Amino acid sequence: MALKYKRILLKLSGEALAGEKGFGLDYSVITNICKSIKECADLGAQIAIVVGGGNFWRGRSSGAMDRTRADHIGMLGTTMNALAVADVLEELGVDVRVQTAIAMQEVAEPYIRNRAVRHLEKGRIVIFGCGTGNPFFSTDTASSLRAAEIEADVIFKATMVDGIYDKDPHKYADAVKFDELTFSDVLAKGLQVMDSTAASMCKDNNISILVFNLNDPQNIVKAAQGETVGTI
C-alpha cells in the first residue's frame, strides 16, 4: 500500500515508553514501537520523532521546585528517552541520529534544522530531545515547532487512547469519539488533546495532527498509509 504521508513527525509520550509500570522504560514495549517505526521507514516514510519525558519527570507537577529548574530536569528526561529509543532502533538496524535543543555535544548532535532535514532525506530517523529547549513549554509544542520547521506533512500523536472523545472514555461509557476536529474546536471545547500553545501553533501553521492509540504500534504503519485510525 502506498504512503499517504511522506514526512512524518511522530510524537511519543514518555508514558508510551513506560508500559504498564507507568515509570521508566519498558524495553519490550519500546521494541514493539520501534519495529513499527522501522516498518514505516522501510516503506519510504521519512520519520522524525519528538519524545516526551513524563515517564521520568514533569515540570508542571514538580511541587515546590522552581519551575524553570523543574523544566530543565524534564528536558533532560526527554533526552534519556531519546537515547533509549535511538538505541533500540539501532539494534533493529535503523540508521538514527539524536539531536538535542540544549547542546550536549558529547552525547548527541545539537539541533540544526538543515542537518535534520538532510538526515531525513538520507533515510535516517532523527530523534529530537530536550523539547523546544525552553522551560514552560511541552514536548507537544516541540512537536508542532519541529513539524513546522522540517515541513512535516503531519504530526502523529501516539497516545494511550484511540482518538479524541467529547469526554474521558475511561470515566464515561457514553463518551463519543470524533473522527475529525478543527483546532478551533479543540480550543473552544477545551478538549484535553494537547496544550493550547501546541494547538495554536498547529492552527497558525496549518499542520494536521492525527491522534491514535499506540497500544497497537501497527497503528503507526496504518496511519502512514492513510487508514482511518484515531482522530485527525
132 labeled binding residue: yes
Task: Classify 154 as helix, strand or coil.
Answer: strand
Cα–Cα distance measured from residue 29 to residue 68, given in angstroms and rounded to the nearest whole number = 31
Would you say 137 is a known binding-site residue? Answer: yes
**Contact flag: residue 59 with ligand UDP (CB under 6 A):** yes
Interface pick for ligand UDP out of 8, 37, 41, 52 (rule CB under 6 A): 52
Cβ 43 to ligand UDP shortest distance, Å: 26
Distances, alpha carbon 29 to alpha carbons 57, 63, 167, in Å = 19, 30, 27
Round to whole Å and give the CA distance between 78 and 85: 11
Q: Which amino acid is at 167?
A: K
- According to the annotation, is 138 in a ligand binding site? yes
- Give residues 108-147 in contact with ligand UDP (rule: CB under 6 A): 131-132, 134-135, 137-140, 142
Instruction: Please give the grid coordinates belonging to residue 155.
Output: 504530526
Q: Which stretch binds ligand UDP (CB under 6 A): 32-40, 53-61, 102-110, 157-165?
A: 53-61
Residue 27 annotated in ligand binding: no
Out of 8, 45, 71, 214, the only residue in the binding site for ligand UDP (CB under 6 A) is: 71
The helix (H) or strand (E) run that includes residue 152 is none
Q: At closest approach, how far in Å is the CB of 103 from ligand UDP?
A: 15
C-alpha cell at 15: 508514558
**Is 78 marked within a binding site?**
no
Q: How far is the CB of 200 from ligand UDP (least distance, A)?
A: 15
Q: Which residues contact 54 (CB under 8 A, 6 or more apart)?
A: 13, 14, 15
- When the beta carbons of 1 and 107 are compared against ligand UDP, the nearer one is 107
Residues 6+ away with beta carbon under 8 Å from 128: 48, 49, 50, 51, 82, 98, 99, 100, 101, 111, 116, 142, 146
Contact characters 193-212, ligand UDP, x per CB under 6 A: --------------------
The site that binds ligand UDP (CB under 6 A) totals a number of residues, namely 24
| Contacts with ligand UDP, residue ranges (CB under 6 A) | 13-15, 52-54, 58-60, 70-71, 74-75, 77-78, 131-132, 134-135, 137-140, 142
